[in-house]
Amino acid sequence: MKSSFLAGVSLGAVALATGAQAADLPARPVYKAPVAAPVWNWTGFYVGGTLGGAWSRSSASSTNYIDPGVDSNSAGVIGGLEAGYNWQMANWVLGVEADISFSSLNHTASGFFGTDTYQSRLDWLSTIRGRVGYAFDRWLVYGTGGGAFAELKDAYASPTFPFVAESSSTVGGWTAGGGIEYAVADHWTVKAEYLHVGFGNRSTTENMSGFGYAFAFKDRLDVARVGINYKF
């Protein structure tokens, strides 16, 4: 009986000592899962500006003049303002964008016998386009296309006969291209974009020489530009 009592006392002492040691141990640290970085959302209205280069391929052709045709290729600077709106659905982004740009494109080429001249000039270019893109968080890859409008001037002049056949007007056409855009901050994005722009033939007949020479003018553009936008 005495042995059982002593054994019980010994076990109780051991249990108390073990509990005291456990109480002295530091508490186990609690680890929290890292907070995921917020995903960029492209939905919203934005405004911005663009700047880049433009390359024109223009031509003048005639069916009843001694010079059947001449080409005028030139390059210049183009820049302006843009505004648009995006809707994001999962990773897909649909948008609409409008812009207006002003250009330094103005080139003169030699025609018949080197004395005739053909001048082509682009004063301004405006586009209204749809955009379809796929977002990788802050990256957006997109295609774009729509209508284009421009103030174009084409003139073929001959000092020999003499006459000037010219067409200067606001004309409509089409545009298509694509680009990539990146969100650099909470409200700011930057982009690089390419557009091809085409316009239909424009015809005119001069009435100075008495021969009524008829000309058809055609203008095409390639635009490569960068832009910066503020998203509201």
- How would you label 79-117 residue by residue, b for 16+ Cβ within 10 Å and e otherwise? bbebebbbebeeeebbbebebebebebebebebbeeebb
Q: Is residue 14 part of a domain?
A: no
Residue 124 has a CB neighbour count (10 Å cut-off) of: 15
pTM: 0.81
> Beta strands of the chain (E only): which ranges?
44-62, 69-89, 92-103, 106-110, 117-136, 139-158, 163-183, 188-199, 202-205, 214-231
**Residue-level pLDDT at 202:** 94
* pLDDT above 50 (res 13): no
Contact 58, 120 (CB under 8 A): yes
Q: Is residue 188 part of a domain?
A: yes
The total number of structural domains in the chain stands at 1
16 belongs to a structural domain? no
Residue 225's domain comprises 44-231
Q: Is residue 207 part of a domain?
A: yes
3-class SS of residue 21 = helix
Q: Is residue 31 part of a domain?
A: no
CA-wise closest residue to 75 among 228, 176, 195, 224? 224
- Identify whether 1 is part of a domain: no
The total number of residues written for the chain in this structure:
232
- Whose tokens are 């316009």? That residue is 199
pLDDT digits (tens, 9 = 90+) for 23-55: 454 556 555 555 555 688 999 999 999 999 999
pLDDT tens profile 167-196: 988 999 999 999 999 999 989 999 999 999
| CATH number for the domain that contains residue 117 | 2.40.160.20
Q: Is residue 67 part of a domain?
A: yes
Q: What six digits make up the tokens of 134?
A: 């796929």
Task: For CA atoms 165, 170, 174, 179, give the dihedral sign.
Answer: positive
